Amino acid sequence: MKPFYEETGVPAIYAPIFALRTSAHRALIIEPWPRLLAELLVKLGEENRQGGRHAQAIFYYEAAGHLGGVMLREADSLRDGLDATAIIAVVSGPFIISESERRAIESLPISVGEKHERIREARGRNFRAYLVAHGRPDLAQAYARDSAHARRSRADTRKASRNSFAQMQALASRKFLRVLVAWFHASCVLTLLLVVGLLSFVLRWWKEKQPGPPWRWWEWAALVIVAFVLAHLVTFLIYARVPEVERLEIFEPAFYLGLASAAPLLIVVPIVGGLLKRRRQPPEARLGRARACLASFRTLLLPTFAVLLAVALALSIPAETTLQKWAAEQKKIVQQGEVKYWRIGVPQH
């Protein structure tokens, strides 16, 4: 049986996500016992068919086919539907096609998936012919209906999986990356500000009578622009160059790049700038080096945090709207079930 992400046609970079999803499903049922049961029934049917006991063989084939049909009609999740379609394919598995027919299918200018579908259909025809030849046309018709349902389900599942991950990709958009980077920049500045405030309070340096190194407003603005605006631009330029289907994969590295690009400036500029400005002050007005650095941090960090907090809040409004819409859709999927929500297997009129 193919891995879930291969069966649905979703790009292979989502294999870890599908592995987690499949593992969670398997944890609930311990083993894919319906498929194992179907394989056992088909094996017993094949043993009886090879021994000429066709009535007994059809009994086992019917049981396996009924299991797959019931699972397919009652499927709730995409995984359940794929298990059911696999069981239906297992039933006709022993009824192999001729080598010439296989070569003819392999030579067709169609995709590998379509070739596999043609082979399944050919085996299904052989199985139905066997049932008719031994007096069970009713069972042949039932298997034909289930096979048609399974074909629609496989096609719909591939489409639904792509649509499902298109929904998830919305959470890896530049909009959400921008919000996360803005909030973590604000968090980093707040953390640094609390550390500086604590040191100033403990050492009582915040009560210094001498003024700290003078910082002009445009110097502070330049720090904000270089440390944060350019950090955002670099991050999103790299992010924009990556194909959309691969953005989930680079979301975390891009996020950390946005953080790391601003952190050195937040520490280096107040220290170096504070020391340089201290040297330009009259000797009687100078603070100690450590005190001058702390004063520079206090001067620069407080307005920086205020601006970053305002930016993060402003960016969060449209992102929150998108997130609420996504959460509402996910809730609807849980309530309705994936099969019903995506209309898996429903005939198209």
Structure confidence by residue, pLDDT tens digits, 48-102: 999 999 999 999 999 999 999 999 999 888 888 889 999 999 999 999 888 898 8
* Cα–Cα dist 145/345, whole Å: 12
Interval 182-237: pLDDT, tens: 888 888 889 888 998 888 887 775 565 666 788 888 888 888 887 777 777 766 67
Q: Residue 30: is its pLDDT beyond 50?
A: no
* Cα–Cα dist 156/140, whole Å: 24
> What is the biggest distance separating any 2 CA atoms in the chain, rounded to whole angstroms?
111
Interval 292-322: pLDDT, tens: 888 888 888 889 999 989 988 988 888 888 8
* Cα–Cα dist 213/270, whole Å: 10
pTM (two decimals): 0.62
Residues whose CB falls within 8 Å of the CB of residue 65, separated by 6 or more in sequence, listed in order? 88, 91, 139, 142, 143, 146
Residues whose CB falls within 8 Å of the CB of residue 280, separated by 6 or more in sequence, listed in order? none
Identify the CA nearest to 188 among candidates 241, 115, 265: 265
* Cα–Cα dist 92/122, whole Å: 9
Tokens in use for 206?
């915040």
Q: Residue 267: is its pLDDT beyond 80?
A: yes
